[in-house]
């Protein structure tokens, strides 16, 4: 018998991986907000299907929700294609409208039914282990684990089978169309998967965590790698870490499990945002500072190189103070640049005079050539 705590982490991990697999393509296609729209608007599909069946356990609710997710995408696309509104504005118009209709229908006609909007938005993972799948008197585990496990397998096999098509349509839809791959078919197939995944995760974790697990792990992985298959694997790993870490945080703080998991996903993203090796804020700042120093070194060496050619002196050594006045740099900044140049072997210093080394002359010639090519190229 597995403890409820382990079952909660298992369910959350399976949900996280299922969401991350489709979320990667939403992030790469700049459609992150579409997951938010789908995860909210599917409520209308659930409500309408319930009115038809009057059975909360009917599979028609999942079908209705998935269809409403696709309808949401179609409506957003139709609005966007009019060119009267941008895509983000179309999303902002469509999903609040559909979600609001669902809320009104629930409050007017299903107030006594377990379709409350708080449960839909926030979910409650703590209750998921109590809804069991029992076959011939044998307890086989939480239903949510089987439902999300099946959806995870569908997502995995779809992405594995159509990886090339998804990759082409995501990065170069024109080339995909030329090669006979329909971007529209791939787009709506992906949106159907997003809808089914959102619906499946709805009851267990709520729409807020669905959005968090669908976007935060892929966005984190995007900061860490340029390779698609590595990004997919990293997204799944970050999703699992968010699920397990979030459960630990909720247990320690005695707080909402879904909220804690979304918070951990956000913390992991923030760490990647700051410290990612290539795209992080720290790496970007360090790179820009390095470029600034390199530009100063090239400027200094070119200035000395020109002086060697135009006004040669004995020994080719020039007074440091005179150089600083010509370059009009502050004393501290000039001293730092000269110190770096000496450390890199571009200059040598004797008393108050500096002199270009052969390495410094080579850098000056390269910098001068790059400058001439840049100014000669047509705009």
Q: What residue segments make up the domains of the chain, in order of their start?
A: 4-241, 283-374
Share of the chain above pLDDT 90, in %: 30
The 8-class DSSP code of residue 319 comes to: E
Q: Is 331 exposed, middle or buried (0-12, 13-18, 19+ CB in 10 A)?
A: exposed
- Measure the CA–CA gap between 56 and 36, rounded to whole angstroms: 23
Q: What confidence score (pLDDT) does residue 366 get?
A: 86
Give CA 293 to chain center in angstroms.
32
Confidence band, pLDDT 50/70/90 cuts, at residue 79:
confident
Q: Which of 14-23, 189-198, 254-263 has the highest mean pLDDT?
A: 14-23
User: Which residues lie closer than 8 Å to 277 by C-beta, 6 or more apart?
Assistant: 224, 283
Tell which residue, 321, 361, 99, has the closest CA to residue 208: 99
Q: What is the mean pLDDT of residues 334-350?
A: 89
Confidence band, pLDDT 50/70/90 cuts, at residue 123:
low
Q: Which residue did the predictor score with more confidence, 314 or 240?
A: 240
Q: Hunting for tokens 């096999």 — which residue is that?
A: 157
| Residue 137 structure tokens | 């008197």
- The region of weakest confidence among 118-122, 129-133, 314-318, 343-347 is 118-122
Mean pLDDT value across the chain: 85
Contact 216, 268 (CB under 8 A): yes
- The region of weakest confidence among 25-34, 105-114, 231-240, 292-301 is 105-114
First-to-last CA distance in the chain? 71
| SS3 of residue 134 by DSSP | strand
Confidence band, pLDDT 50/70/90 cuts, at residue 41:
confident
| Domain 4-241 homologous superfamily, CATH | ABC transporter involved in vitamin B12 uptake, BtuC (1.10.3470.10)
- The region of weakest confidence among 4-13, 39-48, 118-127, 174-183 is 118-127
- pLDDT of residue 97 exceeding 80, the answer is yes
- Measure the CA–CA gap between 111 and 104, rounded to whole angstroms: 10
Q: What is the mean pLDDT of residues 42-56?
A: 83
User: Which residues lie closer than 8 Å to 299 by C-beta, 6 or more apart?
Assistant: 327, 367
Confidence band, pLDDT 50/70/90 cuts, at residue 229:
very high
Confidence band, pLDDT 50/70/90 cuts, at residue 284:
very high
Q: What is the mean pLDDT of residues 6-14?
A: 91
Q: What is the mean pLDDT of residues 189-213?
A: 82
Give CA 284 to chain center in angstroms.
18
Contact 39, 207 (CB under 8 A): yes
Q: Which residue did the predictor score with more confidence, 149 or 33?
A: 149
Q: Full-prediction pTM beyond 0.85?
A: no
pLDDT in tens, 143-168: 888 888 999 999 999 999 999 999 99
Q: Which residue did the predictor score with more confidence, 219 or 70?
A: 219
Q: What is the mean pLDDT of residues 204-221?
A: 86
Q: Is 7 exposed, middle or buried (0-12, 13-18, 19+ CB in 10 A)?
A: buried
Q: Hunting for tokens 């469509």 — which residue is that?
A: 94
Q: Is 324 exposed, middle or buried (0-12, 13-18, 19+ CB in 10 A)?
A: middle
Strands 347-350 and 318-319: unpaired
- pLDDT of residue 377 exceeding 70, the answer is no
Contact 339, 332 (CB under 8 A): no
- pLDDT of residue 312 exceeding 80, the answer is no
- Measure the CA–CA gap between 70 and 90, rounded to whole angstroms: 15
Measured CA to CA in angstroms, residue 242 lies from 15, 16, 206, 262 at distances of: 11, 8, 15, 7
| Phi, psi (deg, nearest 5) at residue 205 | -120, -10
Q: What confidence score (pLDDT) does residue 316 get?
A: 66
Q: What is the mean pLDDT of residues 2-10?
A: 85
- Measure the CA–CA gap between 174 and 31, rounded to whole angstroms: 18
- pLDDT of residue 378 exceeding 60, the answer is no
Tell which residue, 21, 69, 26, has the closest CA to residue 46: 69
Q: What confidence score (pLDDT) does residue 354 get?
A: 85
Confidence band, pLDDT 50/70/90 cuts, at residue 116:
low
Q: Hunting for tokens 């100014």 — which residue is that?
A: 375
| Residue 297 structure tokens | 């070194």
Confidence band, pLDDT 50/70/90 cuts, at residue 375:
low
Q: What is the mean pLDDT of residues 338-350?
A: 89
**CB burial readout 95-109, b (16+ within 10 A) else e:** beebbeebbebbeee
Q: What is the CATH number of domain 283-374?
A: 1.10.10.10
- For the beta sheet containing 318-319, the strands, ordered from the edge strand earlier in sequence to the opposite edge, are 318-319, 353-356, 347-350
User: Which residues lie closer than 8 Å to 206 by C-beta, 6 or more apart?
Assistant: 119, 120, 121, 122, 123, 124, 258
Q: What confidence score (pLDDT) does residue 283 get?
A: 94
- pLDDT of residue 50 exceeding 70, the answer is yes
Q: Is the dihedral of CA 177, 182, 188, 191 positive or negative?
A: negative
Strands 347-350 and 138-142: unpaired
């Amino acid at each position: 018998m597995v403890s409820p705590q382990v079952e909660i982490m298992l369910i959350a991990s399976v949900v996280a991986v299922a969401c991350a697999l489709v979320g990667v393509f939403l992030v790469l296609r700049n459609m992150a907000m579409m997951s938010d729209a789908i995860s909210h608007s599917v409520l209308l599909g659930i409500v309408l299907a319930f009115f038809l069946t009057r059975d909360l356990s009917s599979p028609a609710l999942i079908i209705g929700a998935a269809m409403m997710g696709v309808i949401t995408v179609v409506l957003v696309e139709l609005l966007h294609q009019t060119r009267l509104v941008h895509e983000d504005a179309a999303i902002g118009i469509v999903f609040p409208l559909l979600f609001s209709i669902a809320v009104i229908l629930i409050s007017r006609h299903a107030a006594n039914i377990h379709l409350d909007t708080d449960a839909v938005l926030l979910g409650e993972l703590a209750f998921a282990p109590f809804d069991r799948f029992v076959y011939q008197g044998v307890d086989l585990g939480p239903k949510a684990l089987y439902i999300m496990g099946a959806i995870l397998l569908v997502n995995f096999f779809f992405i594995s089978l159509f990886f090339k098509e998804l990759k082409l349509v995501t990065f170069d839809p024109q080339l995909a169309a030329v090669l006979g791959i329909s971007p529209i078919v791939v787009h709506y197939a992906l949106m159907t998967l997003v809808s089914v995944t959102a619906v499946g995760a709805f009851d267990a974790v709520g729409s807020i965590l669905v959005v968090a697990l669908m976007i935060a792990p892929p966005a984190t992985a995007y900061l860490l790698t340029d390779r698609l298959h590595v990004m997919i694997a990293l997204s799944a790993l970050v999703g699992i870490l968010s699920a397990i870490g979030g459960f630990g945080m909720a247990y320690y703080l005695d707080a909402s499990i879904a909220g804690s998991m979304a918070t951990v996903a956000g913390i992991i993203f923030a760490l990647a945002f700051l410290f990612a090796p290539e795209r992080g804020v720290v790496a970007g700042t360090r790179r820009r500072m390095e470029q600034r120093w390199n530009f100063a070194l090239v400027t200094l060496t070119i200035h000395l190189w020109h002086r060697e050619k135009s006004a040669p002196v004995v020994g080719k050594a020039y007074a440091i103070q005179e150089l600083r006045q010509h370059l009009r740099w502050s004393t501290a900044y000039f001293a730092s640049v000269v110190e770096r140049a000496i450390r890199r072997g571009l200059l040598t210093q004797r008393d108050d005079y500096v002199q270009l080394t052969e390495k410094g002359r080579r850098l000056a010639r390269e910098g001068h050539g790059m400058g001439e090519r840049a100014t000669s190229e047509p705009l």
